[in-house]
Amino acid sequence: MELRTVSAWSARLDALPRLSLVTDPTPLAFAPHLSATLGGPKLWFKRDDLLPVASGSNKVRSLDLIVADALRQGADTLVTGAGPLSNHVRASAGVAALAGLRCVAVYWGMEPVRVEGNHWLTRLLGAEMRFTHDGDRASADRGIEAAAAEILAHGRKPYSVPRGGACALGALAHVLAVRETLDQCRCLGIKPRVVLMAVGGAGTLAGWLLGTALFGAGWRLEAVTVSRPAPEALTRAQKLAAEAAAMINCAPRLRNVEIIVHDGFLGDGYGIPTPEGQGAINATARAEGVFLDPTYTGKAMAGYRKLRSEGQYADADAVLFLHTGGAPSLFTAAVEAMP
Ligand SMILES: *Cc1c(COP(=O)(O)O)cnc(C)c1O
């Protein structure tokens, strides 16, 4: 890629309005004990779980841009939603509080009997909560729309963020994460062959896909799906990446990026812990003092452990595991019930 073109895209990314919550790069840390136990490549953690504001997570990166856009549009209320244990809703409530906005959280399903994990933190952060009383996850989408209309009718100014925060503007924040990570890799003298992450709504994977294409990173992207079937997750990521590219007026060849989405580690469903995920969480905590989570990163690490045990990644010198956060979900009854 021509250098001048790359710096033009870089400049367009830098010109996006942001709250500037993300001022410093998150740590890129070697995991010596896990690497030794699993054999093969050196494993590195990119610690986006440590992003500042309300317990961090990848969602803080996206909200840095999304909430700046809300303020620019003169909004006074952020409306978003997902399940009650959502990291995205918790992070939204935190960033909204910081930005002086109200936050309305629309959760699918019934109000749980026990307020736990992110639901508890979201309450602490002062969000107004609503439940759709419908187990269909898409009911939160309709709920967000209805809540925004109602807020508007009351003379306030709502700004809706799609369920789980998966949108093109949010994806652009993860393009910046790719640039940041490439700089760190250069300083450390490492060349990860693979970047591995969990994929849910796919905004994060979309950003990494676009960033990988824009900056010519030589790695393969691998994602472990934790909600929808792998082909659907991949299609969503590609679609969001193309939308995000259009927002900064570029059209890189996304098809040139190696990308694989793995099925097979979801277990009984989204947000339901698996024994393999729990095993990965325990092993990572005991080897590295790092907490993964039961919904996303634990399942992604379970995927890596399984694939590694089957002899994959033998050709890779280094693998980068994107730690997207989610530890508040460890403090839930579903995890406590695990053996
Ligand atoms: C939301 C989330 C993800 C997945 O990100 P998407 O952009 O929705 O695919 C991964 N890990 C954690 C902890 C999350 O909260």
Distances (CA, A) of 64 to 93, 318, 324: 13, 30, 15
Angle at 19 between CA 66 and CA 68, to 5 degrees: 35
Among residues 105, 130, 165, which one ends one of the domains?
165
What pLDDT is recorded for position 1?
57
Residue identifier of the C-alpha nearest atom 12 of ligand 1: 324
Are residues 221 and 284 located together in one domain of the fold? yes
**Ligand 1: nearest atom to the Cα of 203:** 7
Cβ neighbors of 280 (< 8 A, separation 6 or more) are 292, 298, 299, 301, 302, 304, 305
What pLDDT is recorded for position 315?
86
Among residues 117, 140, 165, which one ends one of the domains?
165
Calculated CA dihedral for residues 108, 111, 113, 117, nearest 10 degrees: 60
By most ligand atoms within 8 Å of CB, the mutation choice from 47, 324, 332 for ligand 1 is 324
DSSP 294: T
Is the CB of residue 326 below 6 angstroms from any atom belonging to ligand 1? yes
For residue 117, the domain's CATH number is: 3.40.50.1100
- Cβ contact 319:192 at 8 Å: yes
Are residues 18 and 100 located together in one domain of the fold? no
Is the CB of residue 199 below 6 angstroms from any atom belonging to ligand 1? yes
**Ligand 1: nearest atom to the Cα of 201:** 8
* β pairing state of 158-160 and 194-199: unpaired
What pLDDT is recorded for position 5?
81
User: What tokens does 109 get?
Assistant: 């399903």
Distance 198 CA to ligand 1 centre (A): 7
Q: What is the pLDDT along the chain (339 residues), one digit of tens a residue?
A: 567 788 888 999 999 999 999 989 999 999 999 999 999 999 999 999 999 999 999 999 999 999 999 999 999 999 999 999 999 999 999 999 999 999 999 999 999 999 999 999 999 999 999 999 999 999 999 999 999 999 999 999 999 999 988 999 999 999 999 999 999 999 999 999 999 999 999 999 999 999 999 999 999 999 999 999 999 999 999 999 999 999 999 989 999 999 999 999 999 999 999 999 999 999 999 999 999 999 999 999 999 999 999 999 998 999 999 999 999 999 999 999 987
What pLDDT is recorded for position 9?
87
Amino acid of residue 250:
C
Distances (CA, A) of 229 to 236, 237, 265, 275: 11, 13, 11, 20
Distance 90 CA to ligand 1 centre (A): 12
Distance 185 CA to ligand 1 centre (A): 23
- Cβ contact 281:292 at 8 Å: yes
Class of residue 87 by CB neighbours under 10 A (exposed 0-12, middle 13-18, buried 19+)? buried
**Ligand 1: nearest atom to the Cα of 164:** 8
Are residues 202 and 269 located together in one domain of the fold? yes
The verdict on residue 326 lying in a domain is yes
Tell how far CA 143 is from the center of its chain: 22
pTM of model > 0.95: yes
The span from the CA of 97 to the CA of 204, in Å, is: 23
- The dihedral of CA 213, 214, 217, 218: what is its sign? positive
The verdict on residue 1 lying in a domain is no
Are residues 308 and 199 located together in one domain of the fold? yes
Distance 72 CA to ligand 1 centre (A): 26
The verdict on residue 260 lying in a domain is yes
The verdict on residue 71 lying in a domain is yes
Using DSSP's 3-state secondary structure scheme, residue 234 falls into helix
Are residues 42 and 160 located together in one domain of the fold? no
What pLDDT is recorded for position 77?
98
What pLDDT is recorded for position 339?
75
> For residue 156, what are the domain limits?
59-165
Residue identifier of the C-alpha nearest atom 15 of ligand 1: 87
Distance 111 CA to ligand 1 centre (A): 23
Q: Minimal CA–CA distance to 158: which of 231, 81, 224, 101?
A: 101
Choice among 35, 86, 92, 329 that is catalytic: 86
The verdict on residue 44 lying in a domain is yes
Distances (CA, A) of 162 to 54, 213, 226, 253, 268: 20, 25, 18, 26, 25
Using DSSP's 3-state secondary structure scheme, residue 288 falls into helix
Give one DSSP letter per residue of 97-144, joined into a string: HHHT-EEEEEESSPPPSS--HHHHHHHHTT-EEEE-S---TTHHHHHH
By most ligand atoms within 8 Å of CB, the mutation choice from 26, 46, 59 for ligand 1 is 59
Is 86 catalytic? The answer is yes
DSSP 25: P
Going edge to edge, which strands form the sheet with 42-47?
28-30, 42-47, 318-323, 194-199, 220-225, 259-262
- Cβ contact 281:305 at 8 Å: no
The span from the CA of 243 to the CA of 155, in Å, is: 31
The verdict on residue 3 lying in a domain is no
What pLDDT is recorded for position 191?
97
Among residues 143, 165, 187, which one ends one of the domains?
165
